[in-house]
Amino acid sequence: MSDTSRPLLEVDGVTLQYKTKEHLITATYRVDFNVYQADRFVLLGPSGCGKSTLLKAVGGYLTPTEGQIRLKGKTVGGPGPDRMMVFQEFDQLPPWKTVKQNVMFPLLASGKLKGRAAEEKAMQYIELVKLAAFADHYPHQLSGGMKQRVAIARGMAMEPDILLMDEPYAALDALTRRKMQDELLLLGQDTRFTLLFVTHSIEEAVKIGTRILLLSPHPGQVTAELNSSGADTRDANGVLLSERINSILFSEPVETEEANHA
Ligand SMILES: Nc1ncnc2c1ncn2[C@@H]1O[C@H](COP(=O)(O)OP(=O)(O)OP(=O)(O)O)[C@@H](O)[C@H]1O
């Protein structure tokens, strides 16, 4: 039985820096947060506060200069199949590969599975995202939402502990963005994946997140951690929450709220 009281991901006093020839840039300063199983954990803050840098560090592409990142209690030392970045710019799905071939690709490329076993695993996740009828279609034959589901199936087929997404909807029009967010939430309900999601949109954070970490402007420091009940900025709870986030982001008091993980 999995221990749901223990965090899946622990980010503990993490300072992240970039060294260039002339400068040492501190992107985040002593950031702490914990992500639990099935959380949709959102990193929210203004441009340049270090959200993407944090995601890269969780991905193992950047080593903290201070602090530690642990997944299931083990220090993250580099990229690994236990953390899958879900790329969603649609050109990230090679157009010459079918849905099935796209989902099989990381399984084959990583050597995790071969041949028939990779195909079966891919189909298992294609069915989960309800695209079995489209397994032999090419990306250009799919809608944006369907392509998103392929990208998620591709990440999930690797059976990672956590999915990482960096502003996946930033370039989309408002209507498409809303549709994609709805699809992501439905998938979350069906599969209970654990998600670490970066955005600078308060509206998106309120909608997507079960928990929201607010970061101050550069260098990013935690200003608050809030629970979100999947409210929408169109309903009363969501409006209240987004107003609260607004006031915290713009006044920046340090505030903490313990999440309910009893
Ligand atoms: N490769 C790099 N080399 C040097 N500095 C970098 C590099 N990448 C990011 N930075 C700097 O680190 C800081 C944090 O950048 P980061 O991209 O993580 O912020 P962000 O919150 O994701 O911003 P945005 O919302 O605009 O994507 C910024 O000051 C940025 O200029």
CATH code for the domain of 224: 3.40.50.300
End-to-end, the C-alpha distance of the chain in Å comes to 16
Predicted local distance difference test score (pLDDT) of residue 262: 39
* Minimum CA distance residue for ligand 1 atom 17: 52
Tell the residue nearest (CA) to atom 2 of ligand 1. Answer: 18
Instruction: Looking at the structure, tell me whether residues 15 and 130 fall in a common domain.
Output: no
> At residue 235, does pLDDT exceed 70?
yes
pLDDT, residue 3, reads: 58
Q: Which residues line ligand 1 (CB under 6 A)?
A: 18, 20, 25, 27, 45, 47-53, 200, 218
**41 lies in some domain:** yes
Q: Which atom of ligand 1 is nearest to the CA of 43?
A: 21
Domain of residue 234 covers: 1-77+163-177+192-262
Together in a domain, 49 and 169: yes
Residues 56 and 167 in one domain: yes
Nearest residue (by CA) to ligand 1, atom 25, is 47
**Cβ atoms of 112 and 86 closer than 8 Å:** no
Q: How far is the CA of 49 from the centre of ligand 1 (A)?
A: 7
Is residue 6 domain-shared with residue 73, that is, in the same domain? yes
Within a domain: residue 184? no
**Residue 17 counted as domain residue:** yes
Q: What is the mean pLDDT of the chain?
A: 88
**pLDDT tops 60 at residue 90:** no
- When pLDDT is averaged across residues 230-239 and rounded to a whole number, the result is 72
pLDDT, tens digit, for every residue of 72-87? Answer: 999 999 999 899 988 6
> Within a domain: residue 186?
no
Distance CA 124, CA 51 (A): 32
145 shares its domain with 72: no
Residue 187, in any domain of the structure: no
Asked if 252 and 170 sit in the same domain, the reply is yes
| 34 lies in the same domain as 136 | no
Q: Which residue CA neighbors atom 4 of ligand 1 most closely? A: 18
- pLDDT tens for 149-166 read 898 889 889 989 999 999
Residues 229, 173 share a domain? yes
28 and 142 inside one domain: no
Residue 117 contacts residue 152 (beta carbons within 8 Å): no
Structure-block tokens of residue 91: 């050109």
Percent of the chain surpassing pLDDT 70: 90
User: Are residues 65 and 95 both part of a single domain?
Assistant: no
One domain, residues 44 and 101: no
Q: What gap in Å lies between CA 52 and CA 183, rounded to an integer?
A: 23
Bigger pLDDT: 188 vs 138? 138
Q: Evaluate if residue 258 carries a pLDDT over 60.
A: no
Same domain, 171 and 256: yes
Q: From ligand 1's centre to the CA of 114, what distance in Å?
A: 38
The answer to whether residue 261 is domain-embedded is: yes
Total domains in the chain come to 2
How far CA 184 is from CA of 40, 60, 122, 156, 197, in Å, comes to: 10, 24, 19, 13, 11
Q: Which of 43, 51, 213 to mutate to test the pocket of ligand 1 (most atoms within 8 A of CB)?
A: 51
- Residue 246 clears pLDDT 80, i.e. is over it: yes
CA of 60 to the centre of ligand 1 (A): 16
pLDDT digit string (tens) for 115-135? 999 999 999 999 988 899 999
183 found inside a domain: no
pLDDT of residue 15: 98
